[in-house]
Structure 1
Amino acid sequence: MEAATQLRIGYQKSSTLISLLKAKGTLESALAPHDVKISWHEFPNGQPLLEALNVGNIDLSADVADTVPVFAQAAGARLAYFATEAPSPTAQAIIVHQDSPLSSVAELKGKKVAVTRAAGNHYLLLSALADAGLKFSDIDAAYLAPADGRAAFENRKVDAWVAWEPFLSSAQQQLPTRTLADGTGLADYQRYYLTSAAFAEAHPQVLQSVFNELVKAGEWLRTHPREAAEQLGPLWGNLAPQIVEQANQRRSYDVRAVKPESLVEQQKIADAFFNEGLLPKRIDASDVVLWKPETAQ
């Protein structure tokens, strides 16, 4: 490997395992023998994160929801999937205020719903609406980033909000809310770690080291839930440990290699967005590079 390889890592607030590795300096230690220099770049959500990956401003993306790579692929990105977390369907949900007159997803027809464009919660909303016999055009969608979605929901500017963790648990514990639907039976909510096809080919050992540390971080979090919550709370805007612990209980953090069969749900997502006119072109979700790790150390 050439000297002083640069590894620019993009992440977002919900990038739990990467956030833990960043806070502890774990990746710097693991990659030091390979003369890799890391820089960290935070993004508000997954869409701008993968846009930065597509144009070469970062080399590696921390976990993003399964919907995000579909939109990046439609934009022409040559992606390489290098890890995934096992499905976590209850880590996102459609919520309303406790005193809302709405009691079902079907009653969202004509209502204003806050959702983040191209995020995992966007697919949950599509899937839940379809299950209720509605189209996306039957609602008034307000495309908002998580913080803005929370503000709009709290101030009753929208009738419902589609949130993911840790924003979901935060709202549920700080506000009186009800859940109309989570992802159970509707959206698997797998989170993927990505890089460019070119970086995967040029630096497989860097990806192997990152993969190994992600596996270990996931195992540590699952066996140390309270300690993890206390470490993550300050990184997530000083959230109380009990909020973080609830959020983490809904995420699998089971890091594994991406296999071709993992992309079946990706194709379902792509087709759902295309059929609603929300994806600019039909894509083949399997037309990506699947990097294969060695057994995690």
Structure 2
Amino acid sequence: MHRRRAISALLALTVSVALGGCGDDADSAGGDSGPLRVGYQRFGGLSLVKAKAAAPGVQWSLFESGPALTEALKAGAIDIGQTGEAPPIFAAAAKIPFSIVGTSEPVPKGEAVLVKQAKGYRTFADLRGKTVALNKGSNVHWLLVKLLEANNMTLADINVKYLKPAEGRPAFDNDQVDAWIIWDPYFALAEQPGVQVLADATGLANNREYLLVHPDAATSKGAQIRTFLDAYQETTTWGIANPEERAKILAPELKIDQAVTARALARSAQPLAPLTPEIGAELQGIADGFTKLELIPGSVDMKARIDDQFTAELQ
């Protein structure tokens, strides 16, 4: 019950802060003067920057998922934000203007397929004909694609139910779905007696974090972005070197207990990584996979979205 209350509070706060953070700026352009407007997801690398107050003067907006954050970029409500690997691809397919200015090392253990132990599933292949819930267009969407591929299955072999985290958890708890593919910290909150991790992304998907910038902001707020990214790099490095203190600081920000926070961070918090041609190729391969499955309309050029002008601040 404690963890159910925690995730309910987490999701309610996510919605309220996202609405409050974006409402005043929804009609403004991405490069307008004023404070740097940062979109983040609770628990992502930027959460620690916020929790430590390491970037004074920044205006923060909280989002439940990457697709919601990219919609804010489209509306010009934020200048910079952080998502997983799939949201930039869906955003590019939707013609949303942005460039990718940073990434992280792989985080394959930070997303997983959860099932109830009592159901007796041993492998992902056992979900053939079953109902699998996930957030459409999020990092877990690509994990689903790779799991199907690895098990010689197709989307036709399962019943996919697209649910946001706020919908997915109660559906999973109440056995309305057979499996839930989810990321941290929702993943960590759902780990309780009777819940089994059927598979994570190890060997299947890198599950990196990506920093997206509105092109207007990249031009007019370049100095602010560089200052912010310096703080982001310094804070991330500190957090990796001080895991216990990191969990202590983040637990109140996440509204979940410190032990759950520490467990999630141990597998999901990774160093930043430089943008390279290989990163562009990796994203392009994911985009081509979504195109092949007709999950996005037509082809997108993800390599063209890579912008290395801020790379020095993230090394």
Q: Please report the TM-score for the alignment, with normalisation by the length of structure 2.
A: 0.85
Give the drift of 1:296.
5.4
| Structure 1 residue 109 displacement after superposition | 1.5
Matched, 1:25 2:25: no
Q: 1:50 corresponds to which residue? A: 70
Residues 89 and 188 in structure 1, CA contact (< 8 A), matched pair in contact too: yes
The answer to whether the 8 Å contact 2:36/2:225 transfers is no
For residues 129 and 313 of structure 2, the distance between their equivalents in structure 1, rounded to whole angstroms, comes to 50
Alignment of 1:147 with 2:152, yes or no, is no
User: Does the aligned pair in 2 maintain the 1:219–1:253 contact within 8 Å?
Assistant: no
Is the counterpart of residue 122 in structure 1 residue 122 in structure 2? no
Report whether the alignment pairs 1:92 with 2:121. no
Task: Say yes or no: does 1:79 pair with 2:98.
Answer: yes
Q: Secondary structure at the match of 1:142?
A: strand
For residues 218-246 of structure 1, what are the alpha-carbon distances to aligned partners after superposition, in whole Å with 9 as ceiling and x for unaligned?
A: 11111221221122122223x22111111
Comparing 224-233 and 67-76, the one that deviates more: 224-233
The question of 1:159 aligning with 2:181 is answered: no
- Where is the helix percentage greater, Structure 1 or Structure 2? 2
Q: Which runs of 5+ in 2 are unaligned?
A: 1-30
Task: State the Cα distance separating 1:101 from its structure 2 match.
Answer: 2.3
Paired with 2:178 and 2:250, the residues of 1 have a C-alpha distance of 30
What's the counterpart of residue 31 of structure 1? none
- Deviation sequence 1:56-98 (CA, Å, 0-9, x none): 111111x210111000000112221121111111111112111
Please tell me whether the aligned partners of residues 78 and 288 of structure 1 are also in contact (alpha carbons under 8 angstroms). Answer: no
Q: Structure 1 residues 291 and 54, CA, compared in 2 at 3 Å: closer, same or farther?
A: farther
For residue 230 of structure 1, what is the aligned residue in structure 2? 248
Contact 2:99 2:214 in 1 (8 A): yes
Match of 1:257 in 2: 274
Please, which moves more after superposition, 281-290 or 187-196?
281-290
Listed as ranges, the matches of 1:207-222 within 5 Å are 207-222=225-240
Structure 1 runs (4+) deviating above 4 angstroms are none
In the TM superposition, 1:176-255 aligns within 5 A as: 176-237=194-255, 239-255=256-272
Letter of the aligned partner of 1:186 in structure 2? L
| Paired letter, 1:68 | P
1:5 aligns to 2:34 (yes or no): yes
Alpha-carbon distance between aligned partners in 1 of 2:59 and 2:277, rounded to the nearest angstrom:
31
Equivalences, count? 284
TM-score (norm 1): 0.90
Contact 1:214 1:255 in 2 (8 A): no
Moved more, 89-98 or 37-46: 37-46
Change (3 A) 1:256 1:5: farther
SS at the partner of 1:93? strand
Residue identity in the other structure for 2:204? L
| Contact 2:52/2:249 (<8 A) preserved | no
SS in 2 for 1:26: coil
% identical equivalent positions: 32
Structure 1 match to 2:23: none
Higher strand share: 1
The answer to whether the 8 Å contact 1:200/1:291 transfers is: no
Secondary structure of 1:6's aligned partner = coil
1 CA distance for matches of 2:296 and 2:313? 36
SS in structure 1 of the partner of residue 245 of structure 2? helix
Amino acid at match of 2:236: G
The aligned counterpart of 2:124 is 105
Supply the AA of the counterpart residue of 2:197: T
Answer whether contact 1:215 1:296 (CA < 8 A) is retained: yes
